[in-house]
Amino acid sequence: MSLETKVALVTGAGVGIGEATCRGLAAAGALVVVSDIDQVAGNRVADDLNKGGYQAVFMRLDVCDEAQWREVVADIVARFGSLHILINNAGIANICGVEDETLAGWRKTNTINSDAVFLGTREAIRVMKESGGSIVNVSSIEGIVGDPMLPAYNASKGAVRAFTKSVALYCADKGYPIRVNSMHPGYVATPLVSGALSRLSDSDAEAFTQRVLASIPMGRMAEATEIAKGIVFLASDDASYMTGSELIMDGGYTAR
20: nearest Cα among 181, 189, 179: 189
Answer for the pair 87, 32: CB distance below 8 angstroms, yes or no.
no
- At residue 7, what are phi and psi to the nearest 5 degrees? -110, 125
187 catalytic? Reply is: no
CA-to-CA distance for 87 and 102, rounded, in angstroms?
A: 29
| Active-site hit among 153, 176, 187, 253 | 153
- At residue 25, what are phi and psi to the nearest 5 degrees? -65, -40
CA-to-CA distance for 100 and 168, rounded, in angstroms?
A: 36
Q: Which helix (H) or strand (E) holds 88?
A: strand 85-88
Q: Which amino acid is at 82?
A: S
Instruction: Sort residue 148 into left (φ over 0), alpha (ψ -120 to 50) or beta.
Output: alpha
3-class DSSP state for residue 176?
Answer: coil
Answer for the pair 112, 90: CB distance below 8 angstroms, yes or no.
yes
Catalytic annotation, residues: 153
